[in-house]
Amino acid sequence: MPYALRTDHLVVGYDGWVSTPITLEVEPGTITAILGPSGCGKSTLLSTIAGIREAISGHVIVGDVDVTHIPAHERSVGLVFQEPLLFPNYDVARNVGYGLERQGVSRSAARARALELLEWVGLVGYGDRSVDELSGGQAQRVALVRALAPNPAILLLDEPFSALDVDLRQHLAREVAELLRGRGVAAVHVTHDPAEAEAIADHVVRFADICE
Amino acid sequence: MGSGDGALNTPRWLRGIWVIPLAFLLVFLALPLVVLIIRTWSGDGWRILANASTWQITALATVQAVLSTVLSLAVGLPIAAVVSRYSFRGRALAQALVTVPFVMPTVVVALAFRSLLGSALPQGFLIVVLAHAYVNLAVVVRIVGSQWSQHDDRYARVAQTLGATPLTVFRTVTLPYLRSSIISSSVVVFIFSFTSLGIIVLLGDSSTRTLESQILRRTSVLLDFPAAAALAVLQLIVICIVIALGAVASRKRGQQKPVRNALLSMPTNRASRTAIHLIAVCSCAIVLLPVFALLIASVRSNSGLTTQWWTSINAIDSGTTRIGSPVASLAQSLQFALITGIVASLVGGCAALAVLAHRWGRFIALFAIIPLGISAATLGLGMLLAFGRPPVDLRASGLLIPLAHSLVAVPLVVAVIAPALRGIDPRAREVAATLGARPTRAFFTAYGPTLRTVMLAAGGLACAVSLGEFGAASFLARTGAPTVPIQIVRLLSRPGEQSYGVAAVMSLILIALTLVLVLVVDRLGRRNGALRPAH
């Protein structure tokens, strides 16, 4: 059975900095946490896997497809950042249905599906609200279901809880882990917090260990 | 009487400073407008509104202004996308060059376009729209670019990972973010194009008449002041409607959080890098081509290259009382510019200071910005009717033009000085007071150094405005003492290559003077940090 995600001697870089080749393997339905200090290149790795940055060399393989040269919008890789980055020009449900609309789903069908997903994360009745009305934790939940709505092959979480306060961070980390396992979604979660990594992940690897 | 913070420390003279801008604006802005409206009301000026040609001109000017706005956006947006977002060598130069057309006097732009395209394009609609787009390029690049430069690119990345193509990302993420700045710049470009005069006079034909040009014609050719006043009021109403529509359209909705220093590094793929460099090079070429055409026109005669036009700027028309030599008009323009610089920086400076010292100061500053929305012809005509003939005839004193120029420049002066003063920590004044400084000393300890710099910079900007201003001056100039832009138009109205060549020389001198002033303003601004000329 192929890995959900595999990087094969992937070299990433940003503004003159270049990593050593990175090899990472994520099994289907599992959550892998990558632990490393701020600025070590974790986010650059995720951006490259998502197709936002070009790989300098090596390969990104999602399922059994080499997506190294496929643009981000065709990769089926979801990404959640530290901040929710919800589109303020759309209401909550339209944000969640955004990816479905890009797949050709009609706006009304995308909205209906978005409302189901919102219910799933405990945000019943929030569909028509402006994103400005959400608390930090609610906004991050919306960002999560927005990324999950188009059924990505793998979900990348770039320190999505670090902007939240400690109690909420731990609570939400556990909740997200349950949600992902419940749906069988493979995910890569990068963090600099060992406790958070342990709380959410099936496997924890240090960034330095996956670099050759 | 105070603003609420440290009113006891506010020097008495500062508390009353609002009187100066208020008096100036009441006398030289409100009174002329009232006279204009009374003149329209009492005369039979309204009959011109029953004239079908008035509405035809309004409709044509609207179409022209809409197309000029669309073209400015079509050219300006890609340039803004590149010069305000990506970090590359030569970015600062490209950004500075794009500002050049906006500070160039409109008659100079018109002559430059005639030199560049005159043989290929006849006078008329197309060349007018092109020239307007050229002048207003900086408006789009500066206003939209300043917002774009703070765009958090991660919103676009999220959309990409959700399956959005680059075009969909632009439509659903970037465009909504830029909406307010695009609308603001569109309103400004529309108003500038709708009220255009210099470009219309030199490049237009019967299809490009604007209400502004009709106001000038009614005033100076037909001597029909009531009709001119009615047209000015009609134009004012159209401008108010456009501003109101713009305000409604750009009502604040949810906004993506901007980020500071969001300059992107150059993309790694070659095609994108090439496209970015190509747009940057094209933007420089677009700006410089008309200026080069002007340069060539200044050294070309039917028989080949010549320096004759440069050497004859003191000889042509000298001794004639009707026009005066180009050098004399240059001296006249410099004199007006100096007076404008002093008056506008004092009035605008006092308006900006009033914001600090008085609860009504904000309204005074707002009042001082109003001339920005009133066309130069309306201002010129209003001042002509109010102060251009007995019992109050300021034309003979030579002050009417610099006073009109000061009105045009005051909004820019306020826009330069007010943010710089707001950026100063008011606690510096309180600290000085606790160390024994009297209110005036404490005020100048805190605000003096910045105030000195920004007043100089704003004065320089006002001088630049005066040097290039054509609309108001064309109503108020006396026959023997034209300003340089008026002299250029007069020279071009005569046949002969000498007139054309000398007009090109004067245009280049005007560009050089304006650029020197703008560069000085920019240098002072960089020294002060917070200061940026408001373009």
Has residue B164 been placed in a domain? yes
Residue A128 has pLDDT above 90, yes or no: yes
- Out of A52, A54, A132, the one facing B160 most closely (by C-beta) is A52
State the smallest CA–CA distance between residue A193 and chain B in angstroms.
23
Q: Lowest-confidence range among A42-46, B180-184, B248-252? A: B248-252
Domain CATH code at residue B52: 1.10.3720.10
Distance CA A171, CA A40 (A): 26
Distance CA B497, CA B502 (A): 8
Residue B206: domain span: 43-297
ipTM given for this complex? 0.87
Phi, psi at B372, each rounded to 5°: -60, -30
CB A81 within 8 A of CB B154: yes
What residues in chain A have their Cβ under 8 A from chain B's Cβ atoms? 14-15, 47, 50-54, 71-75, 77-79, 81, 83, 85, 87-89, 98-99, 102-103, 130-132, 143, 146-147, 150, 152
Report for B23-32, B142-151, B216-225, B371-380: range of highest mean pLDDT: B23-32
State the smallest CA–CA distance between residue A83 and chain B in angstroms.
10
Collect all residues of chain A within an 8 Å Cβ-Cβ radius of residue B158. 79, 81, 85, 143, 147
* Model pLDDT, residue B1: 37
Has residue B187 been placed in a domain? yes
Has residue B395 been placed in a domain? no
Has residue B171 been placed in a domain? yes
In DSSP terms, A26 is beta-bridged to A5
Say if B47 is an interface residue toward chain A (CB within 8 Å).
Answer: no
Has residue B8 been placed in a domain? no
Residue of chain A nearest B157, judged by CA positions: A52
Q: Lowest-confidence range among B61-65, B216-220, B405-409? A: B216-220
Phi, psi at B103, each rounded to 5°: -90, -5
Radius of gyration of chain B (CA): 24
Q: What is the CATH number of domain A5-210?
A: 3.40.50.300
Say if B445 is an interface residue toward chain A (CB within 8 Å).
Answer: no
Q: Are strands A22-26 and A154-158 parallel, antiparallel or unpaired?
A: unpaired
Query: How does pLDDT run across B240-297, given as a tens digit for each residue?
Result: 888 888 888 877 666 777 776 667 888 777 888 899 999 989 988 988 999 999 999 8
The b/e string for A182-192 (b: 16+ C-beta within 10 A; e otherwise) is eeebbbbbbbb
Residue B16 has pLDDT above 50, yes or no: yes
Residue B4 has pLDDT above 70, yes or no: no
Collect all residues of chain B within an 8 Å Cβ-Cβ radius of residue A103. 163
Has residue B201 been placed in a domain? yes
CB B506 within 8 A of CB B488: yes
Residue of chain B nearest A154, judged by CA positions: B161
Has residue B108 been placed in a domain? yes
* Model pLDDT, residue B491: 85
* Model pLDDT, residue B43: 67
Binned at pLDDT 50, 70 and 90, residue B168 comes out as very high
CA distances from B334 to A37, B130, B454, B465 (A): 62, 30, 21, 11
- Out of A51, A54, A85, the one facing B154 most closely (by C-beta) is A85
Distance CA B485, CA B87 (A): 38
Percent of chain B with pLDDT over 70: 92
Q: Lowest-confidence range among A8-12, B8-12, B209-213, B301-305? A: B8-12
Whether residue B158 and residue A131 make contact (CB cut-off 8 A), yes or no, is no
Which residues 6+ apart lie within 8 Å of A184 measured at CB? A28, A29
The packing angle between helices B175-194 and B125-148, to 10°, is 140
Say if B259 is an interface residue toward chain A (CB within 8 Å).
Answer: no
Q: Which of A89, A93, A99, A84 is nearest to A162 (CA)?
A: A84
Query: How does pLDDT run across A53-69, given as a tens digit for each residue?
Result: 889 999 999 988 999 99
- Give the count of domains, chain B: 1
Has residue B256 been placed in a domain? yes
